[in-house]
Amino acid sequence: MPPALLAVLAGMFFALASFFTRLGLERGTTDAAVRTAAVVAVAVSWPLFFFLAPWTSLSSWAVLAFVAAGVCGPFLGRLLLFTGLQRVGVAVTTPIYNVQVLFTAVAGVLFFSETLTPFIGIGTVAMLVGLALLSLDASGGNRDRPRRTLDLLFPLGAGFFIAITYVFRKWGLQITPEVFFGLAVMSVTALVTSMGMGAVKRQGLSLPGGRTLVMFAIGGAMAITAHLCVLGALLRGDLLIVVPLQNMEPLFAVVLSRLFLRRLELVTPAVAAGAALVVTGGVLVNL
């Protein structure tokens, strides 16, 4: 499958992951959401690895790159992202954390000798204007709690850590081009890290029950599917191609929020315009 199509599919599945996780966060906690997503990822990725990838890859130095990626993205990035979903909602959080496009574009130039074009200036301005619209319109987002400006730092931090994880994924795939191996290492790293944090905080490490567990589990399944698409796209294409197309995620997220989360979230014209500008800026940055 072409890397461009894989990247677009990744954006769609990430948006679905945020959508189902937001439903679960009505009654669940962010820690439980991260832990459930990690359990689902381990349950899916390790059988795929054992049946479809060479076991000898476990002795590769790529393990270190994928462990670092697991800490930055599936754990830290996801924890901040879920906190943002809980505090400001899907429609606002998703476009803000997709500022990762700008971070990743710079990383591609610094670490992988990829090339930026003059469009980076126009794209950066478009993204900043979009972020301003999202941050200034306090009426958009969750209906059940007032928004604070500091709450927007959570999705912004998620974007930063998720951008870093792209760098580590790319390095790992350059050393050992095995998608299922990378996914398995990242998933178990995220699970171990989340359980370790829960133990330090003296929290129960059990999973939630009922509808909350179902929503978190579906969200985790959507996320692991998205990660498979991302790794497949990175294996075949450059960061400058993969990340902007995956940045279609905010548009999918705004549509899902507008259609199915009206009870929980308000999608204002400013929020929709901000999301569109972020996506446009992400594409321009990488032309």
* pLDDT confidence bin for 96, thresholds 50/70/90: confident
Q: Is the pLDDT assigned to residue 24 strictly greater than 80?
A: yes
CA distance 102 to 181: 27
Taking each helix axis from N to C terminus, what angle separates 78-88 and 3-24, rounded to the nearest 10 degrees? 60
Q: Which residues of 38-69 are buried (b: 16+ CB within 10 A; e: fewer)?
A: bbbbbebbbebbeeebeeebeebebbebbbbb
Taking Cα atoms as reference points, which of 246, 252, 228, 189 lies closest to residue 53? 228
| Residues 243, 105 contacting (CB under 8 angstroms) | yes
Identify the weakest region by mean pLDDT among 69-73, 98-102, 253-257: 98-102
Res 136: pLDDT: 65
**In the predicted structure, residue 206 carries a pLDDT above the cut 80:** no
Q: How confident is the model at residue 202 (pLDDT cuts 50, 70, 90)?
A: low
Q: Which residues contact 71 (CB under 8 A, 6 or more apart)?
A: 189, 190, 193
